[in-house]
Chain A
């Protein structure tokens, strides 16, 4: 299998209101990448678009707008997991020798219907994601003694980290009291335990080893990936509400492929659409033992979600996985400015979709 590098990245500002079309939004970070890259547009072999927006033929439209005539162009829709799934697809083309350069772009408008899976009739009238997240939270509290304060600390930490991220939707801190006293949505989840959907886009340029060495000064390598899809309906995941098995198994696959262990990670971007999900991620990624996730957040680990996570940055669904990966690359290349974590050699991206029915883990490193 050929090595695959992330050669460059760009992320738009994540905002509530926007006038541009999904195509203009998607092109925004691509323009930054293409203007700065020494790669000619005629050398881009594939344009893969991650989005849950229903517009037809979107990847071909984006390619045309950018003046690219790729061999391969299509859109991927896998709800919140779309971005990371698309990166793994792009990586696969290069690893298999079918492409040398792949432009991955994720974009979503705030009014996208991507935040709910209408098909899932097992959720009855409780179709919004906050309901399954509340069930996970309640079960974790009951089984392991996780507290509402510990969940609130995740929001406080990630909102604090987002202050240093100019692309983030939320740039103001919140206190523990703010989170705990915010409006109850589905007990124990409160308003400030929840992310906000928004408009945003992010893009990555993936290159083969030969091209990366020729065109890129500091390539970051994709060292391991893991993907699992257990089901689509919540009913199949809900037999164990104390962990997300798709993430757990995808992480094991990714660590095995990378020949690394959880303790080797210096930094991680984890899916925190609801604060409880970050606590579950600590455990599913084996950063801590099962049940210890609540205590882990009390230790103020700045190396988790340094861009502000989904809670701080907002959640343009199709762009999230790409933006998470862009952040890890930014950190590993030492370009994260005020929010730079040191030392930083290996990083991990953890992303989920639809009640944790599917998950993707990507491990990146500088060597």
Chain B
């Protein structure tokens, strides 16, 4: 997990891949939860599909923030969506990730028009 944080601090999103069975291990771990072999951090494609989304108002300014659960090359994570129109099944791409000043990890997404 420390390596993951180090990558995220640099704005790089990486997950672990099993060196034996090649499965994606998310959240990252130094060993594979399927075959218990060693894993290695790898970049994955930054394109995904928005499976469900919600508007959040839970912030000091009561601003509308869109967030959703995204299928990113077979792994699921929650990220914010920057888009004027949002719908289920929308193609998205991770535009940035990092750690905010309050110490929270964030993943930002926007619509994608690239072939995935």
Contacts and interface: CB of A to CB of B under 8 A. Distances in A.
Interface string A271-315: 000000000000000000000000000000000000000000000
B56 A126 contact: yes
A183 B56 CA distance: 11
Interface in A143-193: 183-188
Interface residues of B, number: 27
A23 interface: no
Contact of B57 (A127, A187, A233): A187
Nearest to A232: B27
Interface string A125-144: 11110111011001100100
Interface string B7-25: 0000000000000000000
Please report whether the interface of chain B is mostly helix, strand, loop or mixed according to DSSP: strand
B69 A238 contact: yes
Interface string A90-131: 000000000000000000000000000001111111111011
B83 to A, nearest CB: 16
A120 B77 CA distance: 10
B54 A125 contact: no
Contacts of B75: 122, 235
Interface string B44-59: 0000000111111110
B26 interface: yes
A239 interface: yes
Interface of B: 1, 4, 26-27, 51-58, 67-69, 75-80, 88, 100, 104-107
Interface of A: 119-128, 130-132, 134-135, 138-139, 142, 183-188, 233-236, 238-239, 241
